[in-house]
Homo-oligomer: A and B are copies of this chain.
Amino acid sequence: MVATLKFTTLLLAVVVCRATQDYGYKDVEEPTLGDSQYGSLWPLPQKVQISTVAFKLSGVSFQIVDAKESSSGASCSLLQNAYRRYDEYIFPISRMQGQNKKKAFASVSELQVWITSADSECDSYPSVTSDESYELSVDSPVAVLKAPKVWGALRGLETFSQLVYEDEYGAKSINRTEIQDFPRFTHRGLLLDSSRHFLPIKVILANLEAMAWNKFNVFHWHIVDDPSFPYMSRTFPQLSQQGAYHPYTHVYTPSDVKMIIEFARLRGIRVVSEFDTPGHTQSWGKGQKDLLTPCYSGASPSGSFGPVNPILNTTYDFMAMFFKEVSTVFPDAYIHLGGDEVDFSCWKSNPDIQKFMVQQGFGTDYSKLESFYIQRLLDIVTTTNKGYMIWQEVIDNGVKLKSNTVVHVWMGNKFEEELQKVTEAGFTTILSAPWYLDYISYGQDWQKYYKVEPLSFNGTDAQKKLVVGGEACLWGEYVDATNLTPRLWPRASAVGERLWSDKDVKDTNDAYSRLIQHRCRMVQRGIPAEPLFTGYCAHEYKGV
Contacts and interface: CB of A to CB of B under 8 A. Distances in A.
Interface stretch (A18-26, A72-80, A265-273): A18-26
Contacts of A486: 482-483, 486
Contacts of A442: 438-441, 478
A527 interface: yes
B541 A482 contact: yes
A481 interface: yes
Interface residues of A, number: 70
Interface in A524-544: 526-536, 538, 540-544
A479 B227 contact: no
B441 A478 contact: no
A531 B249 contact: no
Interface stretch (A146-154, A192-200, A448-456, A508-516): A192-200
A246 interface: yes
Given A441-B441, A486-B482, A200 B540 contact: yes
Most buried by B among A206, A228, A282: A228
A475 B21 contact: yes
A67 interface: no
A304 B510 CA distance: 25
B536 A198 contact: yes
A446 to B, nearest CB: 11
A534 B476 contact: yes
Contact of A23 (B411, B477, B485, B544): B411
A443 interface: yes
Interface in A284-332: none
A226 interface: yes
B531 A480 contact: yes
A409 interface: no
A535 B197 contact: yes
Contacts of A528: 481-483, 544
Contact of A527 (B197, B198, B280, B544): B544
A184 interface: no
Interface in A337-391: 340-341, 343
A226 to B, nearest CB: 5
B544 A206 contact: yes
A191 B345 CA distance: 49
Contacts of A443: 478
A480 B527 contact: no
Contacts of A206: 544
Contact of A482 (B225, B411, B438, B530): B530
B23 A412 contact: yes
Given A529-B482, A536-B246, A544 B202 contact: yes
A487 interface: yes
Contacts of A408: none
B544 A197 contact: no
B531 A482 contact: yes
Question: Can you list the 3 inter-chain pairs with the closest CB atoms, starting with the nearest?
Answer: A482-B528, A483-B486, A483-B530
Given A23-B411, A197-B531, 5 more contacts: A17-B196, A17-B226, A20-B280, A246-B538, A526-B544
